Amino acid sequence: MKTSLTVSLLGAALALACGAPRAQAPGAPAPQAQPAPAPTPGGGTPSPDRQAQDASGGAGDIAQGKQLAEQGIPARSVAACVSCHGAQGEGNAAAGFPRLAGQPGPYLARQLEAYADGRRANPVMAPIAKGMNDEQRRAVSAYYASLSAGTGEDGGARAGGGTSGGNGAAAGATGADAAGGQDGSDPGAQTGSGEVKGDDKGAGAAGGQDGAGAGPGGQRGETLATVGDERIEVQACANCHGAHGAGEPPDYPALAGQHASYLKSALAEFKRGSRKTDTSGQMPDIARRLSNEDIEAVTAYYAAQVPGADWATRREEALTLRRRAAQAAGQAPEPQQPGAQEGVPAGAEQGAPTTGNQGPGGTQSNDPASQRPAR
Amino acid sequence: MAIRMKETDAVLIGVGLVGTILGRELTRAGLKVVGLERGEPRSTVPDFQGPQIHDELRYAVRYALMQDTARETVTFRNRRDQRALPVRRWNSFLPGTGVGGAAVHWNGQTYRFQDSDFRMRTRTEERYGKDFLDPEITVQDWGVSAEDMEPHYDRFEYLLGVSGKAGHLQGKKIPGGNPFEDSRSREYPTPPMKEPYGSALFRKAAEGLGYHPFPQPSANLSQPYTNPEGMTLKTCMFCGYCERFGCEHYAKASPQTVLLPVLLKDERFELRTNCQVLRINLDSSGKRATGVTYVDGSGQEYEQPASLVILGGFALNNVRMLLLSGIGKPYDPESGTGTVGRNYAYQTTSGVQVFFDRDVNINPFMRSGASGTVMADFVSDNFDHSSLGFVGGAYIGETMSHGRPIEFHPTPPGTPAWGSEWKKAVIRHYNHTSVLNIHGSSVAVRSNYLDLDPTYLDAWGLPLLRMTFDFPENDLKMSAYLTERAAEIGRAMGGRQVSASPRKGPYDITKYQTTHNTGGTVMGADPSTSVVNPFLQSWDVSNLFVIGASNFPQNASYNPTDTVGALAYRAAEAIVGRYLKSPGPLVQT
């Protein structure tokens, strides 16, 4: 678990460094990001730091976003977000309004774009999204990304995690069975609605060996989320949405702690094709393969999961890693000037050099020690 | 004492790509078929699901999906005057095992061989004269043409849903595709994959130098696709865990995602896993197979009688099975006679690393096994060899398949191999390095061959396969010439430093290169130089068909899987359309 988190944070750091992790269109190499000073998340002005930019063009201004969220834009009939999504972005389960707190900012900004341009058809959200300009959408997205997913009365039933590094943000936890400052980096150790969640969701591990019985969503919900179902050719949600629905920023939203009512309507939109935000076609295909019972089960499962670390925290951790890496790399010698240099003949795995005893990365030294097979 | 099973119409040795295709075609023709697979059963769910399937240590380093060398391996030597020793840990190549075989852990690069490959000896002699080929080089014609193969390539590619762009469609050249390919009857089933940034840099540089880059044909799909069998594949998510892994997203074509579930529903088909076939049994004449003998997971031995035997394992295992069963005449390198084990060939790969400035972000982690841009200007006989002193060629491309944390650590030459300086260099270069792949052909020569090892035995007491192989001079010349062409492209891509590593001898089996082992049961029109006829039927035992990359008389520039799949469909068509109506040799000698 730890290893995979480190890897995913590293991946997040790189993703932040390089823009959204998507292949670029043929013939259109993307503009390259310039080296830039360390970003200041939560700073008061739009950051010039392109390293922290998301696909929609830049990190938003949190303070501006907070104002928008609380007051709306009356001149353009943009209602205050808080009126539906709650004071802390906790959403509203009864009305099917999603929790926004702690979701990746770039993900939220893209949803607003989609509401504005019709890829998500929603009579309430469309005029609101259209009433905001790009900068305002990014700002309000950045604000909600900065809130802890575990806050707010609605989330309190389960909340508690979602922070790391002991920076005190766990104060938002109000839930009776909150896991008491559990580090979001170890979701496997957190408790949900009373049932123990093992950290190994392997194929064979899904059996209900704990006497407490299945949690919300039952065995079926957990199986779909963590293992998938070969019979209907649906892969596990966890492949993209992370272990226990923690999300995979910046592209994939967190599902943990999201209201089942909202998740159901989102799947229904994918199923009938009215939500066109997934150009890969994965979500529409998956939604079409799920029965109504499956959707009930898997949404109940995710609604009961403890949200992981919020986006802002994860982003800060990733940027810290990136700063450290940039510092270390800064001391590395630059490549020599153009000119072919012969390396040691070695393997290339379908084009990619491998390391250790397998390729150029580990065998370029003339040091005989490096020629020994790695253990 | 072997338990004798009820006789069946056909038995498959191996349920990978070939076994699955033949199983489907034969059951569809009404035959009862038993599939014997030595490895485990497995399917997309639950076996390939995340996060477990992204365990790089388990799958990429410890080879969880590969043949278990503690039970069965090969012995190796470069030359006949050396003693071969067993390979304890795979490195140079990675034979798969288990249901789906190597088509589970492949990258999905799906190329057709060219007509000039199928007619290699004839064409070389026609174009460059009879004396051009060194007498040690034993390349030969396949006994088929690109035109013969086209319908089968087409069918196989539509089974997989290959994402690509035609360059030669019904006789017309199409801009943006591969202008050197033989005419294809239809466009690819799905459009090309998105082009990664490093590949775009390659494309521009190659175009600038007058070459003809095109998107690599990929069996990791660019969009959802439902194949003629009714199986639906989904879109590749560019996760970078293809080769050595199964695909969690139903996005990579493999038997599990394109055909096997359909076959498993057919009651005429029976799959038996953990069943190690020991030999093909022959009747007293030695000309007819009566079935196979195998051992199950508990060690119990069985005899499975069958009217038809399909040997569809990995190339090396096909050769070994014939040698263990005493079918065909083993190759003798001294006299050059005999056919089984003859013309073993490999693939001559090399790499060029292009190190960029810090503001060029390559993002190696967002790749797919078969994403990328390649060019065929130096493939096969697409260029003039007359002054070059070698035959064959390579495709050159930017086809990086991953940036995985354990395996991908590009550093420029001169960087220490460990320690803090190495770490700094990896951080500096990880995201700013692009790698060009030179994927070259491999000629067959008299001295490279496969036979049974005189010393070492497998877990069942049977001799291991012995490989005697070194890179032929021809191929090292080819690699030197084409690696330099790739380095020129690397410089044109704007690399700050370009490091070219042409392939050098001797062949080192402890360095990963590729799992494209070919030959040993080669196909051809002449029984004195081939093991099977052009329909993959054994010349010696007419109710035995041997299908796989072991059929290649020599290896071409491109990856082998498309050709293996097409050969499987070609053999199936011959069996169903001709052999079953009148069992016996399909080609008279």
CB A283 within 8 A of CB A234: no
Q: What is the pTM of this model?
A: 0.87
Predicted confidence (pLDDT) per residue in A168-211, tens digit: 333 333 333 333 333 333 333 333 333 333 333 333 333 333 33
Which residue numbers of B are catalytic?
Answer: 516
Measured between CA atoms, how close is A125 to chain B, in angstroms? 29
CB neighbours of residue B548 within 10 Å: 30
Question: What pLDDT was estimated at residue A216?
Answer: 84
Contact B413 A337 (CB under 8 A): no
Interface test with chain A among B244, B250, B362, by most A beta carbons within 10 Å: B250
Three-state SS across B37-70? CCCCCCCHHHHCCCCHHHCHHHHHHCCCCECCCC
Point out the residue among A7, A32, A235 whose CB comes nearest to the CB of B49.
A235
Three-state SS across B169-222? ECCEECCCCCCCCCCECCCCCECCCCCCHHHHHHHHHHHHCCCCEEECCECECC
Predicted confidence (pLDDT) per residue in B174-184, tens digit: 999 999 999 99
Please tell me which residue of chain A has the smallest CA distance to B399.
Answer: A351
Chain A hits for B425, CB-CB cut-off 8 Å, are 332-333
Chain A hits for B396, CB-CB cut-off 8 Å, are none
Please tell me which residue of chain A has the smallest CA distance to B479.
Answer: A345
Question: What pLDDT was estimated at residue A211?
Answer: 34
Chain B hits for A354, CB-CB cut-off 8 Å, are 407-408, 512
Measured between CA atoms, how close is B565 to chain A, in angstroms? 20
Question: What pLDDT was estimated at residue A214?
Answer: 64
CB B272 within 8 A of CB B302: no
Please tell me which residue of chain B has the smallest CA distance to A238.
Answer: B50
* Interhelix angle B197-208/B473-492, nearest 10 degrees: 100
Instruction: Report how far residue B218's alpha carbon sits from residue B212's, in angstroms, rounded to the nearest whole number.
Output: 18
- In terms of DSSP bridges, do strands B213-215 and B225-226 run parallel, antiparallel, or are they unpaired? unpaired
CB neighbours of residue A366 within 10 Å: 11
- In terms of DSSP bridges, do strands B301-311 and B544-546 run parallel, antiparallel, or are they unpaired? parallel
Point out the residue among A33, A347, A351 whose CB comes nearest to the CB of B513.
A347
Question: What pLDDT was estimated at residue A123?
Answer: 94
Chain A hits for B423, CB-CB cut-off 8 Å, are 328
Contact A18 B363 (CB under 8 A): yes
Reading the block at residue A43, the tokens are 């700073």
Our CA angle for B274, B41, B572, nearest 5°, is 90
Instruction: Report how far residue A16's alpha carbon sits from residue A50's, in angstroms, rounded to the nearest whole number.
Output: 9
Chain A hits for B92, CB-CB cut-off 8 Å, are 347
Nearest to B568 by CA among B585, B583, B546, B543: B546
Measured between CA atoms, how close is B491 to chain A, in angstroms? 7
Question: What pLDDT was estimated at residue A354?
Answer: 52
Measured between CA atoms, how close is B394 to chain A, in angstroms? 13
Please tell me which residue of chain B has the smallest CA distance to A348.
Answer: B351
Chain A hits for B358, CB-CB cut-off 8 Å, are 35, 329
The CATH number given to B3-579 is: 3.50.50.60
Residue stretches of chain A with pLDDT short of 50: 1-57, 151-213, 338-340, 344-348, 350-352, 355-375
DSSP class of B141:
-
Interface test with chain A among B45, B55, B235, by most A beta carbons within 10 Å: B45
3-state secondary structure of B303: strand
Expressed in angstroms, the distance from the first to the final Cα of chain A is: 24
Point out the residue among B200, B363, B502 whose CB comes nearest to the CB of A27.
B200
Contact B365 A11 (CB under 8 A): yes
DSSP states along A233-262: TEE-THHHH-GGG--BTTTB---TT--HHH
A–B CB contacts, 8 A cutoff, strictly below: 292
Contact A365 B416 (CB under 8 A): yes
Question: What pLDDT was estimated at residue A342?
Answer: 54
Q: Which residues pair with B349 in a beta bridge?
A: B439
CB A203 within 8 A of CB B46: yes
Measured between CA atoms, how close is B333 to chain A, in angstroms? 29
DSSP class of B155:
H
Contact A26 B250 (CB under 8 A): no
Q: Map out the domains of chain B as residue ranges.
A: 3-579
Q: What is the value of ipTM here, to two decimals?
A: 0.91
Interface test with chain A among B368, B428, B431, B433, by most A beta carbons within 10 Å: B428
Please give the domain boundaries of chain A with CATH numbers for all domains. 2-17+37-151+210-318 (1.10.760.10)
Measured between CA atoms, how close is B101 to chain A, in angstroms? 19
pLDDT profile of chain B (589 residues), mean per 10: 96 98 98 98 96 95 96 98 97 96 97 98 98 97 98 98 98 97 98 97 98 98 98 97 96 98 98 98 97 97 98 98 98 97 97 95 95 98 98 97 92 91 93 96 98 98 98 98 97 95 94 95 98 98 98 98 98 98 95
Measured between CA atoms, how close is A283 to chain B, in angstroms? 10
Point out the residue among B51, B224, B353 whose CB comes nearest to the CB of A360.
B353
Chain A hits for B513, CB-CB cut-off 8 Å, are 347-348
Chain A hits for B363, CB-CB cut-off 8 Å, are 14, 18, 21
Contact B109 A350 (CB under 8 A): yes
CB neighbours of residue B226 within 10 Å: 11
Please tell me which residue of chain A has the smallest CA distance to B235.
Answer: A280
Contact B359 A33 (CB under 8 A): yes
